[in-house]
Chains A and B, each alone.
Chain A
Amino acid sequence: MALLQISEPGEATAPHGHRLAAGIDLGTTHSLVASVRSGVAATLPDGEGRHLLHSVVRYLETGEHQVGATALRQAASDPLNTIISVKRFMGRGVEDVKSLGSVLPYEFVASESGMPLIRTAAGDRSPVQVSADILAELRQRAEQTLGDELTGVVITVPAYFDDAQRQATRDAGRLAGLNVLRLLNEPTAAAVAYGLDRGSDGIIAVYDLGGGTFDISILRLSQGVFEVMATAGDTALGGDDMDRAIAAWVMQQAGVADDPAHAMQRRLLLAACAAKESLTDGDQVELAVALENGTQWQGTLTRKTMDELIESLVRKTLGPCRRALRDADLNAADLREVVMVGGSTRVLKVRTLVGEFFGRRPLVDIDPDRVVAIGAAIQADILAGNKPEESMLLLDVIPLSLGVETMGGLTEKIIPRNTTLPASRAQEFTTYKDGQTAMALHVVQGERELVEDCRSLARFELRDMPPMTAGAARIRVTYQVDADGLLSVTAEEQTSGVQAHIEVKPSYGLSDNEIESMLRDSMDHAEDDVKARRLREQQVQADRVLEALQAALQQDADSFLSSEERNAIEQAAAKLAVLRNGNNAREIKVAIEKLESVSEVYVDRRMNANIREAMAGHTVDEFK
């Protein structure tokens, strides 16, 4: 916290100890940042009063870049350097990106790890970097408005995002210098924003159709707990596809040949998008598109024609709706509400078909563009510790099964989809050759039987196993998925007790070193800044640990610790407190680790006592 807090006129200064936190909706077509101020969650506008930031980044030859409306204005004239809908490429490989559609006006090159890089005038840019530039813009906006640095953010992702896509989003946050408290699923955020916990308990469906992604989530709300029961969706379906369908119709009407030039494609898509938007009010719209031969095509698009063009796209969303209901073991009649989220739910045809499917009128009260960011801000405020008494809790599920490749290229599921997070599961494998000392594991995500139809997440190598006869080794592979839906894998050979060595190579992600070097590159005065930043990070971490520990010790040290144990902890804490004021980041880090290891017993005992206390109200006989 800075010493001085600047507040806007008419607004109370944040109370002492209030941590500034924000929710960020990193969307395909636009992004928003929201924060809770004086108890009210609202999206934050830029200097010109605009809340929505176009998720568009334009890279210039000078190495600089523009974000938002400025960048979008040049989209038609500078298509190759103006990156739109980058969210579609997050966590994807080059081959995936190519299969997303023939109408991608960018030049892709593959990085060494197979990640697609977009060739721009300012150099090659990964989707993670482009997203980080959008996040950094929002961060700046939030910090200017709120008057201080953010202590943490919640970034939303489609519920259907797989591990690679989530990891990429988290990396983008890190690259933008943000402390990501949590990745939150967009539909869950929307449910929170609707304040549905304030009303009566019940089951709701959140239908989220954005620019490039579709999600359906079924949530059960009871006593402040939002429990995701099932989720389904399509990470490559959204309003952009409607634009493409309309653009294809225009091409047909105007007699434009297939595969037009980049600039022409861009003009067509922008005209299609504008037409779609004006048809949410009107019954017909006039279109005018400048053709490559210098003439101009003019025509009329009626709502009826548009509805026909997009109907099959909208119907594609109903299959996942049905699947989510089935996974939750529910009928449409069991739902209390259906909530609409995402700009594309403004399209009337979408509301009609969804209303028909669920047999009820969907809720559209909160601006579908802002609802996700608002929910994320509420969650960020709670996670930052500003509302210790708040009882809200979000229990998310894993959207796609996690598995491992076995004999014959088949997938063996280890954690099935819709398992509540955090979750862990272990499975045992053995060797097939005498004297085998190493084995390779291929981690995949998806529902299909064949590995080639699933998403490849990572390849692991287990080495230095003691040689044994075939089938004698017992290798336990443990999957752990945290509350963000991010996976970590460990493997251990059981019979010898040897903890074998594991190497992780994310298939399409960035390694820690790559992120580190990108962070360095992005700094103006590289060396000094990195050092100062590292020191500050460690100091913040030290303060956090010390603060939490002191509060705990004051509360209950005597109940859980012998005087010797307490002395050891306090000595380690005192040492950290001294080093924290020095300027050696490494020493602080070591002291933190030392303190945490000394207080391990204490943490365990406290947590177990908390569990006992939570169950104390219930006696074994109570409900007999």
Chain B
Amino acid sequence: MHAGAAKALTFRDVLIHPSLPPNLTQNYFELFSLPQQYAVERSDLDVRYRKLQHTVHPDRFVTAGDQERRVSMQQATHINEAYQVLKDPLRRGRYLLELRGHAIEDQQTTHQDAEFLMQQIELREALGDIRRQDDPLQALDRLAREVQAQYRALESALAQALDAGEETEQAVSLVLKMQYFMRLQSEVQELEADLEDELD
């Protein structure tokens, strides 16, 4: 029996790590020779990333055999993926929790914190009202800065929860809150793009 077109598929919302050969089993912190903790110095991370890519990037193996080129591409891919996770405050937090045995499901939400949910609703209402403001771009800029500040506050609270104390439960809740803010932030950016494009 044949399923015809791809639209006949059911999409299961699962994002998994790229399939990797067995020699790429080091976790991202090990790969970058970093301590397994939340706090990461960005400039240090960048230097390590560039050094690693210098070593393995396919451009270094253009004249090598197929086998070596394949391995080079796998390693470079692995390092890119690791860098994406380690440099992003939210993804790094999720990853660290996963390493500690507390993987967060994509559909998982925070139900308990009524105050937080109320705040989210208010922020979303503010976003919905932007177009009705006298100067929408300026109003959006103010909102964006507030969202940014809240996100930063969550980030430092997460560093505290993961590195200082071993407050895993709180860390999970903080990561979930950061996810809300991340979605809000991308909606802010989309609206900003629309508003700016309308100016042209």
Contact = CB atoms under 8 A, between A and B. Distances in A.
Interface of A: 19, 152, 181-182, 222-223, 225, 315, 318-319, 322-323, 326, 382-385, 391, 393-395, 404-409, 412, 419-433, 435-442, 467, 471, 476, 478, 480, 482-483, 544-545, 548-549, 592, 596-597, 599-600, 603-604, 607-608, 610-611, 613-615, 617-621, 623-624
B81 interface: yes
Interface string B1-42: 111111111111011111101010000000111110000010
A181 B62 CA distance: 7
Contact of A394 (B21, B47, B59, B197): B59
Contact of B6 (A383, A404, A549): A404
Nearest to A462: B3
> Which one of B15, B68, B197 has the highest number of Cβ atoms from chain A below 10 Å of its Cβ?
B68
B91 interface: no
> Which one of B6, B23, B83 has the highest number of Cβ atoms from chain A below 10 Å of its Cβ?
B6
Given A393-B54, A394-B59, 5 more contacts: A426-B18, A429-B10, A432-B9, A483-B73, A611-B56
Interface stretch (B153-161, B175-183, B188-196): B188-196
A406 B7 contact: yes
30 contacts: A223-B47, A384-B62, A395-B53, A407-B7, A409-B7, A425-B15, A428-B16, A429-B11, A431-B9, A432-B8, A432-B10, A433-B3, A433-B8, A436-B3, A437-B2, A438-B3, A440-B5, A467-B1, A480-B73, A482-B73, A483-B58, A544-B64, A544-B65, A545-B65, A610-B55, A611-B31, A611-B55, A613-B55, A618-B48, A621-B35
Contacts of A438: 1-3
A438 B84 CA distance: 35
> Which one of B14, B32, B57, B63 has the highest number of Cβ atoms from chain A below 10 Å of its Cβ?
B63
Given A393-B59, A544-B65, A607-B72, A439 B53 contact: no
B200 interface: yes
A326 B63 contact: no
B51 interface: yes
B196 A422 contact: no
B1 A326 contact: no
B52 A603 contact: no
B170 interface: no
B119 interface: no
A603 B71 contact: yes
A46 to B, nearest CB: 28
Nearest to A329: B189
B77 interface: yes
A425 B159 CA distance: 28
Nearest to A322: B196
B74 to A, nearest CB: 8
A223 B7 contact: no
A182 B62 contact: yes
Interface string B81-92: 101100000000
Nearest to B50: A225
Nearest to A619: B33
Contacts of A435: 1
Q: Ordered nearest first, which 3 A-B pairs have the shortest CB separation? A: A424-B18, A615-B33, A596-B67
A353 to B, nearest CB: 12
Contacts of A430: 9-10, 12
B123 interface: no
B33 A406 contact: no
A432 B3 contact: yes
A431 B10 CA distance: 6
Contacts of B110: none
Contacts of A426: 16-19
Interface residues of B, number: 63
Contact of A596 (B16, B66, B83, B189): B66
A441 B4 CA distance: 9
B44 interface: yes
Nearest to B51: A614
A182 to B, nearest CB: 7
B169 interface: no
A624 B33 CA distance: 12
B54 A222 contact: no
Contact of B9 (A222, A319, A406): A406
B194 to A, nearest CB: 12
Contact of B1 (A404, A429, A436, A476): A436
A428 B62 CA distance: 32
A406 B11 contact: yes
Contacts of B83: 420
Contacts of B2: 437-438
B81 A424 contact: yes
Given A433-B3, A614-B55, A476 B81 contact: no
Contacts of A618: 33, 44, 48
Contact of A319 (B21, B50, B197): B197
B1 A222 contact: no
B52 A385 contact: no
A310 to B, nearest CB: 16
B80 A476 contact: no
A433 B55 contact: no
B16 A427 contact: yes
B56 A422 contact: no
Given A222-B50, A409-B7, A620-B33, A476 B62 contact: no
Nearest to B9: A429
A326 B193 contact: yes
Contacts of B76: 422, 483
Contacts of B14: 427-428
A383 B62 contact: yes
Given A422-B76, A623-B41, A428 B81 contact: no
A441 B53 CA distance: 33
A525 to B, nearest CB: 30
Contacts of B196: 322
B41 to A, nearest CB: 5
Given A385-B62, A544-B65, A423 B54 contact: no
B69 to A, nearest CB: 9
Nearest to B196: A322
Contacts of B81: 423-424
A482 B193 contact: no
A608 B52 CA distance: 11
Contacts of A613: 55
B146 interface: no
A359 B41 CA distance: 32
A95 to B, nearest CB: 19
A541 to B, nearest CB: 8
A182 B73 CA distance: 14
B55 to A, nearest CB: 4
Contact of A407 (B11, B16, B50, B200): B11
Given A423-B81, A478-B19, A548-B65, A406 B6 contact: yes
Given A428-B14, A430-B12, A596 B53 contact: no
B96 to A, nearest CB: 16
A393 B49 CA distance: 12
A548 B31 CA distance: 26
